[in-house]
Chain A
Amino acid sequence: NAGVTQTPKFQVLKTGQSMTLQCAQDMNHEYMSWYRQDPGMGLRLIHYSVGAGITDQGEVPNGYNVSRSTTEDFPLRLLSAAPSQTSVYFCASSYKGGEWFSGNTIYFGEGSWLTVV
């Protein structure tokens, strides 16, 4: 059981470049989300999805796009990378949406370290 798989683990981008962070889960989870983790700020929600074809914005969505064409995959796209997007990105999933956090274990990927120069 692979759980939540993120790729790449490390990436260096130049300002203005675009890229996609991949996230896949094999647990048939409805709910998937992307967080960024910055020193002293905790994890902040970027985008989330409650099922295939359904996505919505979190706390810090600017500069990022997502799509959910399948239950398994939830890629995060950086449209035009900026140094402020240097961060560690985590994908997470949970069994169901709605009260997803209530009693449902959340599974996190191992993170993607992104540096924008």
Chain B
Amino acid sequence: KQEVTQIPAALSVPEGENLVLNCSFTDSAIYNLQWFRQDPGKGLTSLLLIQSSQREQTSGRLNASLDKSSGRSTLYIAASQPGDSATYLCAVYSGGYQKVTFGTGTKLQVIP
């Protein structure tokens, strides 16, 4: 059974700092991995999708990397801003309609 872990569960950083969020998964046979952002009281918003054949994806200040063989993905946020404060979740897709497994998320607080 696929398990997805995100450590740390919470992170607090000063504004302007570069930071890395981690996601690890136990079964490397994945089709892709996706990073989401969740604001309090809101749903999830897709940030980046990395296919299994890709090593990384970039969108603005965000860069996500994928290392299937080691079962790891990282989300790099450059020059963090208070508006980046949210919970970040990763999810892996292992094929079929059901086989999407979400991590429990990292709650990020960026302090002005």
A binding-site residues for B, Cβ under 8 Å: 4, 31, 35, 40-45, 48, 50, 56, 58-59, 90, 92, 97, 99-103, 105-111
Contacts and interface: CB of A to CB of B under 8 A. Distances in A.
Given A40-B104, A102-B32, A103-B49, A58 B98 contact: yes
B46 interface: yes
A106 B98 contact: no
Contacts of B45: 108
Contacts of A101: 31-32, 34, 93, 100
17 contacts: A35-B102, A42-B102, A42-B104, A43-B44, A44-B102, A45-B98, A45-B100, A56-B98, A58-B98, A92-B43, A92-B44, A97-B97, A99-B31, A106-B44, A106-B46, A108-B45, A110-B43
A42 B93 contact: no
A5 to B, nearest CB: 11
Contacts of B46: 105-107
A43 B102 contact: yes
A48 B104 contact: no
A27 to B, nearest CB: 14
B94 to A, nearest CB: 9
